[in-house]
């Protein structure tokens, strides 16, 4: 299907919820027909968890739909391989260096291992790779240059080899807290006095560059001595390098809004004196059985455990496609709870969608269409134009599957051209926009067909032998599993039920 031209389509427009303004805004890119989008990537010191996966799947949906609309998108997603200290603070060990020390390996071995895991996991979820995937360690020079500029602007100070951003001074002309809605006065009031261990002027000041202690493994030379960049600095450096001083969309998890994204805004405005991003987007959390995911409590599932079923928290394994479908059934800004029941329900819904899609090309053709197909297609765009509302899109797709069944029954009719249009449009939104692969459909259906052929043959033998108890038992037990057998003059077929 040819993507809808946003510029030529009347009455349809994309509106995105902007965390900065707290409302949905009409999306107008800085440069016509082009979009610059930056998304905060993982800190690669451990296996990527499902909460992270949900965030990246959410922005994969955004990326896919923007491309579907015909935009040329430059999607930048970083890899944090240095500078992220424990507890998101300015003290403690670098998470990657700590992992390397505990396992007695090089930090870059840690980085390599978990970057590979990250890519492998996201590939399983069928996310598109970003246009550029820069690393923090690959942009040390750019980060040092930004620190110099912030110092020159009078908004940073150096103490003992570390450089800190002066939040109070910045706040005299700007608003530190503009994204999260916080006020510096309240933050100061609610903060305990600094201990003698800190060299910062105030607790709200954050590190731009940290002095590397003798035992610190990851270190680089700088004008202030050997050290490493602050966690917030890398995103400012890399987004500006690849997207410019001002770009269209910045995304990440809800947990990054403060302090990470707040600090990014402050750093960028300190050197450019203008807001760096037009629209800030934040994806919400994924919980497990109503509770926060945490390795320490055991309330946690890794993606591979979801795929192979090697966890007591789930009754069976679930494919990446089912997991992706489950996540997209909720809006990206809504909290989503993962549970066995929710995944089982998603699996049934996903099977019903697949089964319905497979029937479109077999629909009977008529001379006239009894329904307006354009109204169905318009509902897909209305959903996605409303802040990428994937659950409403999925509901609209199921309405189209209902239409498929009505056409099969002869209640409604479609012309050959409309059948082809329906198939192309549904495929575009299911495959290209939602990113559901359905690659396993043919293979799984082949195995399922073979297994059901055996059961159907056994049932036929039972009926021939007048063993109706066994015949009915096969039929009823399959129905209980969501598989309905249909007997007609041509034999027995099956349908997957919702």
pLDDT score, position 196? 52
Domain annotation covers residue 352: yes
Domain annotation covers residue 117: yes
Gap between the Cα atoms of 172 and 14, Å rounded = 36
- Please tell me whether residues 420 and 459 are part of one structural domain: no
Where a domain ends, among 433, 457, 472? 433
- Please tell me whether residues 232 and 271 are part of one structural domain: yes
Q: How far is CA 325 from CA 68, 387, 393, in A?
A: 19, 18, 12
Dihedral sign, Cα of residue 202, residue 204, residue 207, residue 210: positive
Domain annotation covers residue 4: no
- Please tell me whether residues 446 and 356 are part of one structural domain: no
Q: Which domain holds residue 457?
A: 440-496
- Please tell me whether residues 291 and 255 are part of one structural domain: no
Q: How far is CA 200 from CA 5, 138, 144, in A?
A: 52, 28, 19
- Record the tokens describing residue 343, joined without a space: 């995944």
Percentage of the chain modeled with pLDDT above 70: 92
Gap between the Cα atoms of 139 and 142, Å rounded = 5
Number of domains in the chain: 3
- Please tell me whether residues 382 and 478 are part of one structural domain: no
Q: Check which CATH number belongs to the domain holding 305 and give it.
A: 1.10.730
Where a domain ends, among 410, 433, 456? 433
Is 209:227 a contact under the CB 8 Å cutoff? Answer: yes
pLDDT score, position 174? 96
User: Would you put residue 185 in left (φ > 0), alpha (ψ -120 to 50) or beta?
Assistant: alpha
pLDDT score, position 222? 98
- Please tell me whether residues 231 and 177 are part of one structural domain: yes
* CA 295 to chain centroid: 21
Residues 6+ apart with CB under 8 A from 315: 340, 344
pLDDT score, position 304? 95
- Please tell me whether residues 39 and 183 are part of one structural domain: yes
Where a domain ends, among 411, 433, 455? 433
- Please tell me whether residues 49 and 159 are part of one structural domain: yes
pTM of the model as a whole? 0.86
- Collect the ranges in the chain with pLDDT lower than 70: 1-12, 192-197, 294-296, 439-449, 489-490, 495-498
Gap between the Cα atoms of 126 and 327, Å rounded = 13
Give 10-15 contacts, CB < 8 A, sequence gap 24+. Answer: 12/378, 12/381, 12/382, 12/385, 13/385, 14/69, 14/384, 14/385, 15/385, 15/386, 15/387
Domain annotation covers residue 10: no
Q: How far is CA 53 from CA 60, 85, 139, 320, 348, in A?
A: 10, 22, 25, 11, 22
- Please tell me whether residues 426 and 447 are part of one structural domain: no
The residue to which tokens 């300015």 are assigned: 90
Q: What angle do CA 166, 169, 170 make, to 5 degrees?
A: 80
Domain annotation covers residue 1: no
- Please tell me whether residues 144 and 293 are part of one structural domain: no
pLDDT score, position 489? 66
Q: Check which CATH number belongs to the domain holding 70 and give it.
A: 3.40.50.620
- Please tell me whether residues 138 and 210 are part of one structural domain: yes
Is 242:134 a contact under the CB 8 Å cutoff? Answer: yes
Q: Using alpha carbons, select from 211, 224, 206 the residue that is nearest to residue 170.
A: 206
Domain annotation covers residue 84: yes
- Please tell me whether residues 340 and 254 are part of one structural domain: no
Domain annotation covers residue 481: yes
Q: Using alpha carbons, select from 220, 214, 192, 215 the residue that is nearest to residue 204.
A: 192
């Amino acid at each position: 299907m040819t993507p809808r031209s946003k510029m030529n389509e009347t009455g349809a427009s994309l509106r995105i919820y902007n965390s900065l303004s707290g409302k949905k805004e009409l999306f107008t890119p800085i440069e016509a027909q082009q979009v610059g989008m930056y998304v905060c990537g993982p800190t690669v010191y451990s296996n990527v968890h499902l909460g992270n996966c949900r965030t990246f799947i959410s922005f994969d949906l955004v990326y896919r739909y923007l491309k579907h609309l015909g935009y040329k998108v430059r999607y930048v997603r970083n890899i944090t391989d240095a500078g992220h200290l424990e507890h998101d603070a300015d003290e403690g060990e670098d998470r990657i260096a700590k992992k390397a020390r505990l396992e007695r390996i090089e930090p870059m071995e840690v980085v390599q291992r978990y970057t590979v895991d990250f890519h492998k996991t996201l590939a399983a979820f069928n996310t598109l790779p970003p246009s550029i995937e820069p690393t923090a360690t690959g942009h040390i020079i750019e980060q040092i240059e930004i620190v110099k500029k912030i110092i020159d602007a009078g908004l940073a100070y150096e103490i003992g080899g570390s450089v800190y951003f002066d939040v109070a001074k910045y706040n005299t002309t700007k608003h530190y807290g503009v994204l999260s809605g916080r006020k510096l006065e309240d933050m100061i009031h609610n903060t305990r006095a600094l201990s003698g261990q800190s060299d910062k002027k105030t607790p709200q000041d954050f590190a731009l560059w940290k002095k590397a202690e003798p035992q610190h493994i990851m270190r680089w030379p700088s004008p202030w001595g050997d050290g490493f960049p602050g966690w917030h600095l890398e995103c400012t450096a890399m987004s500006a390098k690849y997207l410019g001083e001002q770009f269209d969309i910045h995304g990440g998890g809800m947990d990054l809004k403060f302090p990470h994204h707040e600090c990014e805004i402050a750093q960028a405005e300190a050197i450019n004196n203008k807001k760096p991003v037009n629209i800030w987007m934040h994806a919400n959390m994924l919980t497990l059985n109503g509770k926060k995911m945490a390795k320490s409590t055991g309330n946690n599932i890794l993606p591979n455990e979801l795929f192979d079923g090697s966890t007591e928290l789930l009754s069976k394994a679930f494919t990446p496609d089912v997991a992706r479908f489950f996540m997209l059934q909720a809006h990206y800004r809504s909290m989503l709870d993962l549970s066995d029941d929710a995944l089982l329900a998603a699996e049934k819904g996903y099977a019903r969608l697949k089964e319905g899609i497979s029937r479109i090309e077999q629909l009977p053709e008529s001379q006239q269409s009894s329904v307006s197909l354009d109204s169905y297609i318009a509902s897909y765009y209305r959903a996605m134009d409303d802040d990428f509302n994937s659950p409403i899109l999925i509901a609209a797709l199921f309405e189209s599957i209902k239409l498929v069944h009505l056409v099969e029954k002869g209640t409604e009719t479609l012309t050959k051209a409309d059948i082809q249009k329906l198939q192309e449009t549904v495929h575009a939104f299911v495959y290209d926009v939602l990113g559901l692969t359905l690659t396993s459909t043919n293979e799984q259906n082949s195995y399922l067909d073979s297994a059901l052929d055996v059961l159907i043959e056994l049932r036929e033998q039972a009926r021939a032998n007048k063993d109706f108890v066994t015949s009915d038992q096969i039929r009823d037990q399959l129905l209980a599993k969501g598989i309905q057998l249909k007997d007609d003059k041509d034999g027995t077929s099956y349908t997957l039920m919702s």
